[in-house]
Amino acid sequence: MARKFGGDRLVIASHNQGKLREIAALLEPHGVDVVSAAALGLPEPEETGDSFVANAELKARAAATAAGLPALSDDSGLAVDALDGAPGIYSARWAGPDRDFRLAMERVERELAARDGANRRARFVCALSLCWPDNHCESFEGTVAGSLVWPPRGERGFGYDPIFLPEERTLTFGEMEPAAKHAMSHRAEAFRKLIAACFAP
């Protein structure tokens, strides 16, 4: 039985403004007051985990301990079949110290081109971890399958969204209205699991 969230304030353990906006929008219907780790001046811990869940728990635990409040962290990324799941947990690192995802998208395309005729199937993965100051964590994972397009399409979303075309859709995540993306994304699937386990009455 998952532990229920009983408070009214939650730290979002992320310094990524795109993730903060999406998470705040998904939590809004549940009346939770959110504050970012950045706003509290909390440092970003080094992501040393070997999976999305491990990194999400590491970040949420660090924020919950430092803030004395429950903390929610997201670790997510793009996994490309032909690249053996890369960039995977290194998705943000492929964007370099300046978080330039144009460079990251170009690297994905370059590495696919080097594998002549490689299939372009990919998936986005999102792990969400809700941790309390006593170190208890509840973690959930969501995925969405699709393929990669080039050149990038759309200015919405963030990260690799402009090159990701979900299955049976004609718009990339970078072209979709935010509400349409929220309804079907990897983050939305992980959130549905989180809400059902930890927030639903």
Residues with catalytic roles? 75
d(CA 125, CA 80): 11
* Residue 183: strand pairing partners: none
DSSP string, 6-68: --SEEEE----HHHHHHHHHHHGGGT-EEEETTTTTPPPPP---SSHHHHHHHHHHHHHHHHT
Cα gap 36→16, rounded to integer Å: 9
Q: Supply the Cα-derived Rg of the chain in whole angstroms.
A: 17
> SS3 for 160?
coil
Q: Determine how many CB atoms are found less than 10 A away from the CB of residue 18.
A: 15
Q: Distance between CA atoms of 31 and 33, rounded to whole angstroms?
A: 7
Would you list the DSSP string of 82-135? GGTT-BGGGTTGGGTTTT-HHHHHHHHHHHHHHSTT---EEEEEEEEEEE-TTS
